[in-house]
Amino acid sequence: MRVGYLSADFRAHIMGRLMREVLAAHDRARVSLYLYSLAPEVNEDQLTGEFRGLCERFVNLA
């Protein structure tokens, strides 16, 4: 199954920290994660890198 998430907070933000735990709990053998970021690339940080590692594809839409 493919699941997509859209957010401006795939970064060091309270929602980003909460979402990291949610995304890490997905069974990667059963779920393919696709993340779509609305934040400018200049806002990317270490947590953004962790999100990139949790998904099949990370797309910046900003």
Q: Tokens at residue 60, please?
A: 């910046």
CA 46 from chain centre, in angstroms, equals: 12
Residue 25's domain comprises: 2-60
Q: What is the pLDDT of residues 13-55, one digit of tens each?
A: 999 999 999 999 999 999 999 999 999 999 999 999 999 999 9
Spatial contact of 37 and 9, defined as CB atoms under 8 Å apart = no
How many structural domains compose the chain? 1
pLDDT, tens only, 32-41: 999 999 999 9
Instruction: Give the global pTM.
Output: 0.90
Q: Can you tell me whether residue 56 is helix, strand or coil? A: coil
Cβ proximity of 61 and 36 under 8 Å: yes
Q: Where are the beta strands (DSSP E) in the chain?
A: 2-7, 32-37, 57-60
d(CA 17, CA 5): 14
